[in-house]
Amino acid sequence: MEEKKTYYVTTPIYYPSDNFHVGHCYTTCIADALARYKRLKGYDVFFLTGSDEHGQKIEERAKKAGVSPKEFVDPIIANAKDLWQSLNISYDKFIRTTDEEHVACVQKVVQKLYDQGDIYKGSYEGWYCTPCESFWTESQLVDGKCPDCGREVKLMKEDAYFLKLSKYQKAFEEYLESHRDLMQPESRYNEMVNNFLKPGLKDLCVSRSSVKWGIPVTFDKSQTVYVWVDALTNYISALGYLSDDDSLFKKYWPADLHLVGKEIFRFHTIIWPIILMALGLPLPKKVYGHGWLTIGGGKISKSKGNYKDPRLFIKDYGADTLRYFILSEVPFGSDGNFSEELMVERRNSDLANVLGNLVNRTIAMTNKYFGGEVSENVHPNDLDNEVIAYLNSLEAEVDEKMEALNLPSAIAGIFDRLKRLNKYIDETTPWILGKDENGKERLNDVLYTILEGIRMCTVALEAFIPETAERIFEDLKVTANGFEDFKFGTVKKYQVVSKAEILFTRIDEEALKAKLEKENEEKMPEHLPLIGIDDFNKIEMVVGEVKECRQHPKAERLLISKVDVGNGEIRQIVSGIADYYKPEEMPGKKVIVVLNLKPLKLKGEESMGMLLTSEYQDDKGHTCVELLESKLPSGSKIR
Ligand code: MSP
Q: What is the pLDDT of residues 204-246, one digit of tens each?
A: 999 988 789 999 999 999 999 999 999 999 999 999 999 999 9
Counting from 1 in the atom list of ligand 1, the atom nearest the Cα of 294 is 26
Q: How far away, in angstroms, is 13 Cα from ligand 1 center?
A: 8
269 vs 140, higher pLDDT: 269
Of 10-14, 135-139, 205-209, 231-235, where does mean pLDDT reach its minimum?
A: 135-139
pLDDT band at 136 (very low <50, low <70, confident <90, very high): confident
pLDDT band at 299 (very low <50, low <70, confident <90, very high): confident
Total domain count for the chain? 2
pLDDT at 275 (0 to 100): 98
Of all protein residues, the one whose alpha carbon is nearest to atom 13 of ligand 1 is 14
pLDDT at 617 (0 to 100): 66
Q: Are residues 351 and 463 in the same domain?
A: yes
Q: What is the CATH number of the domain that holds 379?
A: 1.10.730.10
pLDDT at 120 (0 to 100): 96
Domain enclosing residue 600, as ranges: 533-638
pLDDT band at 2 (very low <50, low <70, confident <90, very high): low
612 vs 568, higher pLDDT: 612
Q: Are residues 491 and 605 in the same domain?
A: no
Helix spans in 116-193 (H) = 165-178, 186-192
- Predicted model pTM: 0.81
Q: Which among 618, 621, 564 has a CA at the least distance from the CA of 593? A: 564
Counting from 1 in the atom list of ligand 1, the atom nearest the Cα of 17 is 10
Last residue of a domain, one of 446, 466, 495: 495
CA 550 to each of CA 261, 561, 569: distance values in angstroms, whole numbers, following the listed order:
40, 7, 19
Give strand pairing partners of 138: none
pLDDT at 425 over 60: yes
Counting from 1 in the atom list of ligand 1, the atom nearest the Cα of 231 is 6
| Positive/negative CA dihedral, 507, 508, 510, 516 | negative
Q: Which among 611, 616, 617, 607 has a CA at the least distance from the CA of 630? A: 611
Query: Which DSSP letter does residue 348 get?
Result: I
Q: Which residues line ligand 1 (CB under 6 A)?
A: 12-15, 23-24, 26-27, 52, 231-232, 234, 260-261, 263-264, 292-293, 300
CA 390 to each of CA 173, 251, 362: distance values in angstroms, whole numbers, following the listed order:
44, 37, 19
pLDDT band at 132 (very low <50, low <70, confident <90, very high): confident
pLDDT at 265 (0 to 100): 96
Q: What is the CATH number of the domain that holds 583?
A: 2.40.50.140
Q: Are residues 412 and 490 in the same domain?
A: yes
- Tell me if 171 is assigned to some domain: no
Q: How many residues does the chain have?
A: 639
Q: Are residues 612 and 488 in the same domain?
A: no
Counting from 1 in the atom list of ligand 1, the atom nearest the Cα of 52 is 1
pLDDT at 521 (0 to 100): 77
- Tell me if 518 is assigned to some domain: no
Counting from 1 in the atom list of ligand 1, the atom nearest the Cα of 293 is 27
What is the number of other CB atoms lying within 10 angstroms of the CB of residue 310? 20
For the chain, what percent of residues have pLDDT higher than 90? 76
Residue 541's contacts (CB-CB under 8 Å, 6 or more residues apart) are 592, 593, 594, 595, 612, 637, 638, 639
- Tell me if 581 is assigned to some domain: yes
Q: Are residues 369 and 422 in the same domain?
A: yes
What is the number of other CB atoms lying within 10 angstroms of the CB of residue 630? 17
- Tell me if 344 is assigned to some domain: yes
What is the average per-residue pLDDT within 404-432? 97
Of 189-193, 245-249, 398-402, where does mean pLDDT reach its minimum?
A: 189-193
Of 36-50, 359-373, 602-616, where does mean pLDDT reach its minimum?
A: 602-616
Q: Which H or E run contains 95?
A: strand 93-96
- Tell me if 552 is assigned to some domain: yes
- Tell me if 609 is assigned to some domain: yes
pLDDT at 138 (0 to 100): 81
Last residue of a domain, one of 447, 475, 495: 495
Q: Are residues 411 and 487 in the same domain?
A: yes
Q: How far away, in angstroms, is 267 Cα from ligand 1 center?
A: 12
Q: What share of the chain is helix, strand, coil (3-state, %, to 5)?
A: 45, 20, 35
Q: Are residues 465 and 594 in the same domain?
A: no
90-94, 512-516, 573-577, 585-589, range with greatest mean pLDDT: 90-94
pLDDT at 3 (0 to 100): 79
Of 35-39, 204-208, 388-392, where does mean pLDDT reach its minimum?
A: 204-208
Of all protein residues, the one whose alpha carbon is nearest to atom 5 of ligand 1 is 12
Q: Which among 172, 159, 163, 182 has a CA at the least distance from the CA of 109? A: 163
- Tell me if 242 is assigned to some domain: no
Q: Are residues 453 and 547 in the same domain?
A: no
pLDDT band at 363 (very low <50, low <70, confident <90, very high): very high
Residue 442's contacts (CB-CB under 8 Å, 6 or more residues apart) are 428, 433
- Tell me if 276 is assigned to some domain: no
Q: Are residues 428 and 544 in the same domain?
A: no
pLDDT per residue over 498-546, tens digit each? 988 899 999 999 999 999 888 877 765 556 667 888 888 889 999 999 9
Question: CA 199 to CA 330: how far, in whole Å?
Answer: 33
Q: How far away, in angstroms, is 288 Cα from ligand 1 center?
A: 13
Q: Are residues 467 and 544 in the same domain?
A: no
Of 129-143, 211-225, 227-241, 601-615, where does mean pLDDT reach its minimum?
A: 129-143
Q: Are residues 545 and 415 in the same domain?
A: no
pLDDT at 182 (0 to 100): 96
Residue 614's contacts (CB-CB under 8 Å, 6 or more residues apart) are 625, 626, 628
DSSP class per residue in 198-234: TT-PPPEE-EESS--SSPEETTEEEEEE-HHHHHHTH
pLDDT at 304 (0 to 100): 63
pLDDT band at 293 (very low <50, low <70, confident <90, very high): very high
Q: How far away, in angstroms, is 92 Cα from ligand 1 center?
A: 20
pLDDT at 19 (0 to 100): 85
Q: How far away, in angstroms, is 413 Cα from ligand 1 center?
A: 29
pLDDT at 555 over 60: yes
What is the average per-residue pLDDT within 483-511? 95
pLDDT at 127 over 80: yes
pLDDT at 218 (0 to 100): 98
Q: Are residues 543 and 634 in the same domain?
A: yes
Q: Is 238 helix (H, G, I), strand (E, B) or coil?
A: coil
Tell me the angle at which helices 69-86 and 310-317 cross, rounded to the nearest 10 degrees.
Answer: 30
Last residue of a domain, one of 495, 519, 549: 495
- Chain mean pLDDT for the chain: 93
* Distance, CA of 130 to chain centre: 20
Q: Which H or E run contains 515?
A: helix 509-523
